Structure formats: C-alpha cells, structure tokens
Amino acid sequence: MDANRKLSQRNTTLFTQDASMRLSEIVQQRSGICIKTDKNYLIQSRLQNRLIELQIQDLNNYVNLILDDRDEMQVCIELLTTHKTEWFREIVHFQWLKKELAHYQNTSKPFCIWSGACSSGAEVYSLLFLLLKEGLNSNQIKILGTDISTPILDRAVNLPFEPEFSIQKDFLLKNSKNAAKIEKELELALVRSIKFKPFNLIKDKLDLPFKFDVIFLRNVLIYFDRPTVLMVCQNLGHYLKPNGHLVLGISESLHDELPEFKAIGNSVYQYRPRGGQ
Ligand SMILES: C[S@@+](CC[C@H](N)C(=O)[O-])C[C@H]1O[C@@H](n2cnc3c(N)ncnc32)[C@H](O)[C@@H]1O
C-alpha cells in the first residue's frame, strides 16, 4: 500500500466507542487484561496499524475477525499487552530473596521458582544470577518462566545470545568470589535449570510433580480487575509449598483479601494454607 493511501485510510479507520467496548470485553475474557472504557485512544493507537495492514476500516469487522481466527486473537492481545521489564527490577525483592535463601542452602532438593509473567526473560535470568551468586549450583536450581505471549517467550529463550546478557554476565562474574565455578554452573544452568512455557494465568493449569518455593508474579496484576487478581492469586496457592512465597509487583497488593496469603512486606506474601496443605 502506498504512503498516501495509508495516510488516507488512517484518517478514515473507524474506532467507535461500542466497537472498542466489544473488543475490550473479548480481550478481558481471553487474557484478563482490563482496558478501561475511557481508553478508546489506547485501543486505537495500538491497533490502527494492524487494521491498515489488513485493510480493515471498521474496528467492528476486526472484532469479528479475531472471534473467527485464533492466530489473529493472539496478535491482537499481543498488540494490547505491555511487556516492559528490566534486569533486577524492583531490587528489594532480590534483596529479600537473598536473605530467604539462607534457609535453603543445606537442602538437597532444588530451589524452585516460577516467574509467572516473565516477559522477555530479564526476571528469570536475574533470579538465576542471584541464586548462582549465592552459591547454589545448577542442580539446586529450577526456574520456570511463563507468559501468555509466545513471541515474547521466544525472545526470553534467546536472551542469552543478546549483548545485554553478556553485560550482566560480566558484571556478575566481576563481582563474585568464585567466578570460574559460577561461569561453569551458569553454562549448565542455561541448559538444565531453566524452562519457558506459554501459560495464561486466567485459564491454564500446570501439571507438575513438585511445588514452588517462590512465585514471582510482578507487574501483571495491574492490568486485571479485582476479581481476576484474587482468582489468579488464589489459584497460584495450589502451586506453592506451604510457607512458600508469592511476590507481587511493588505497586500491587492483596489488601488482606486472601487470608491464606500473609503479607510480610514489600508486596511479598507467605502462603499459609488452612490445615498446612
Ligand atoms: C509488564 S510485563 C512484567 C514482566 C516482569 N514480570 C517484570 O515485572 O518485569 C507483563 C507481562 O504479563 C504478561 N501477561 C499479560 N496477561 C497475561 C496472562 N493472562 N497470563 C500470563 N501472562 C500475561 C504480558 O504478556 C507481559 O509480558
């Protein structure tokens, strides 16, 4: 399509309030992501180019398309999702985990962490670097990274080949006493201690023979409405060991609404199920 035609279509593409509401409802049902009704501009800015690319002029027709086409539904959710992440984001949680690890050092079982909305992987590899720096070897570490978005998980899998990974790795080794051992364990851990998997927090289930010591679920609940937040966290309890921990983003909170999750500070919760199961 030539530039002039693109420009004129941009001006005529129809994003009515009704169509935006229809789209938001569908996206919320599938992904939990809740787009406020006054955020018509957000839908427009994120989807306009896609509609132009598909030569669709009315958002209603695009809504019909995503209902018929699962792949396009994925594309749509992808365009409306925020993947912002960074290495050692919200450092207090890594400082907390460092202290918490003291309880696990002597056990023969691996320390298991789930990063439940891991985006492009910085959270997963930050956790790995911390565990290695604190003396765990690759056999003692199990980290699962999941996200609703498969394109972003592909980026997470390939992050170790990116320059930013080398920078973080150099920093880790430069600041570690056992750099040679850590480097060797890191190579092993990348192969056997880390796994990525698509997972939709609002509808998927994990079938695993073990439970997690810690679940990081940071900076995703802000996109969900309150009932969805509580439902997701309640479900995560099934995957946590008793006395294990759920770590939310600093701006996210359970406000004591789930009694089995006891707040211990900085959006970290200890899971204390009734009957200790
Ligand atoms: C802002 S990023 C947070 C990344 C990381 N946890 C951090 O704090 O840096 C939010 C991630 O949540 C994912 N997400 C959104 N809805 C989801 C759902 N229903 N199930 C699983 N992941 C979801 C998005 O794809 C995105 O990668």
Instruction: Indicate if ligand 1 lies below 6 Å from the C-beta of 250.
Output: no
In this predicted model, what pLDDT tens digit does every residue of 150-180 receive, in sequence order? 999 999 999 999 999 999 999 999 999 899 9
Q: What is the CATH classification number for the domain harbouring 60?
A: 1.10.155.10
In this predicted model, what pLDDT tens digit does every residue of 234-244 receive, in sequence order? 999 999 999 99
Claim to verify: residue 162 and residue 220 sit in the same structural domain = yes
Please give the tally of structural domains in the chain.
Answer: 2
User: Would you state the pLDDT for residue 276?
Assistant: 65
Claim to verify: residue 134 and residue 168 sit in the same structural domain = yes
Claim to verify: residue 76 and residue 149 sit in the same structural domain = no
Q: Which of 22, 47, 80 is where one domain is finished?
A: 80
Residue 86 in any domain: the answer is no
User: Would you state the pLDDT for residue 102?
Assistant: 86
User: Would you state the pLDDT for residue 12?
Assistant: 64
Average the pLDDT over each of 35-39, 130-134, 224-228, 230-234 and give the range with the smallest value.
35-39
- C-alpha 2 – ligand 1 centre gap (Å): 36
Instruction: Indicate if ligand 1 lies below 6 Å from the C-beta of 126.
Output: no
- C-alpha 125 – ligand 1 centre gap (Å): 16
Best of 24, 119, 155 for a ligand 1 pocket test (most atoms within 8 Å of beta carbon): 119
Claim to verify: residue 110 and residue 71 sit in the same structural domain = no
Claim to verify: residue 137 and residue 200 sit in the same structural domain = yes
Claim to verify: residue 271 and residue 139 sit in the same structural domain = yes
User: Would you state the pLDDT for residue 4?
Assistant: 52
Residue 87 in any domain: the answer is no
In this predicted model, what pLDDT tens digit does every residue of 40-95 receive, in sequence order? 888 999 999 999 999 999 999 999 999 999 999 999 999 999 999 999 999 999 99
- Please give the model's pTM, rounded to 2 decimal places: 0.93
Claim to verify: residue 119 and residue 169 sit in the same structural domain = yes
User: Would you state the pLDDT for residue 3?
Assistant: 53
Residue 46 in any domain: the answer is yes
Is residue 16 pLDDT above 80, yes or no? yes
Please state the length of the chain.
Answer: 277
Claim to verify: residue 122 and residue 243 sit in the same structural domain = yes
Q: For residue 25, list its beta bridge partners.
A: none
User: Would you state the pLDDT for residue 274?
Assistant: 86
Question: What's the CA gap between 256 and 263, in Å, rounded?
Answer: 7
Claim to verify: residue 212 and residue 157 sit in the same structural domain = yes
Percent pLDDT > 70 in the chain is 94
Q: Whole-number mean pLDDT of the chain? A: 93
Best of 31, 148, 159, 221 for a ligand 1 pocket test (most atoms within 8 Å of beta carbon): 148
Question: What type of residue sits at position 223?
Answer: Y
Residue 85 in any domain: the answer is no
Q: Which of 80, 108, 137 is where one domain is finished?
A: 80
User: Would you state the pLDDT for residue 9?
Assistant: 56
Closest by Cα among 231, 236, 190 to 213: 236
pLDDT band at 277 (very low <50, low <70, confident <90, very high): low
Residue 11 in any domain: the answer is yes
Claim to verify: residue 155 and residue 267 sit in the same structural domain = yes
Claim to verify: residue 218 and residue 254 sit in the same structural domain = yes
Instruction: Indicate if ligand 1 lies below 6 Å from the C-beta of 83.
Output: yes
Q: What is the CATH classification number for the domain harbouring 195?
A: 3.40.50.150
Kind of pairing, strands 212-217 and 261-265? unpaired
Give the structural domain span for 265: 92-276
In this predicted model, what pLDDT tens digit does every residue of 217-234 receive, in sequence order? 999 999 999 999 999 999
